[in-house]
Structure 1
Amino acid sequence: MAANLGGAEEYIELNVINLDDWAEADEAKKQRLLTVAERTLIGLYDGYTIPDNAVYEYAAVLATVFNDNGMLKRQGVAGFSVTGVGSFTFANAGSPSDDIARFIPKAATDIINASNVGRPTVGGRVRWTVL
């Protein structure tokens, strides 16, 4: 694994807007987020160069997706409340089988594409066209 926790901390602090969930995670969870982000990108874009910064962008998103509230949503909890604090309702409860690749941010695919000039671009969306 090329991506490392020290590099992730520095990059995310300087380049990611929503970093609260990353900052609040303990070191072991951050390492897991990096491992999953890198493994997912390498598996999905086999044969492409995956820069560390793309992994860091994706790991920061995964920190938000897999925060405490996100985990409750994926476990099927429709809503909950804490007396005197607040009430939380999830619009669409997720499922444990959610494909985490759908959370890869455009910033990560842009970084991958910039490092793989001359190759087919990654991260595009398939759209219907009318001729």
Structure 2
Amino acid sequence: MVAVRGWLECDDRQLSRIKEIVAADDPEGTYSGGWAFPARQYNYVSWAFYGGDIRAAALQWFEERLRQIARIPASDQDDEYDERPRGLFLVSHDVDGMSEWRVCNGGLVIGPPGGDYRYLDA
């Protein structure tokens, strides 16, 4: 099993697209049920959270969803800042240990944990 937990920050339009990706991909809700969206988003940033244990064989499915989400374009193309979805996920594999998955710059970067997250690696 693999424990996956993390968050994304985005804008309202991107959040709508993230919800579409999540709903279209897993109609039975097997692992997409781990997604949570606050009922009331506030300020100018919207949030999406994921928490759940998934089978190691499904980890590639989750990785592809994050890559798809990372490619959602910025809503304001004229902005000088990279306003695509971004976030952080900690992925704890029973055998392989923990890795850090960063959604940034339109992609997904997977590597060793950058912080002291060992207390979460159960």
TM-score higher than 0.5: no
Higher helix share: 1
Q: Who wins on radius of gyration, i.e. which is larger?
A: 1
Q: What is the TM-score with the length of structure 2 in the denominator?
A: 0.32
Name the structure, 1 or 2, with higher relative contact order (CA <8 Å, separation 6+): 2
Could you tell me the TM-score, scaled by structure 1's length?
0.31
Higher strand proportion (structure 1 or 2)? 2
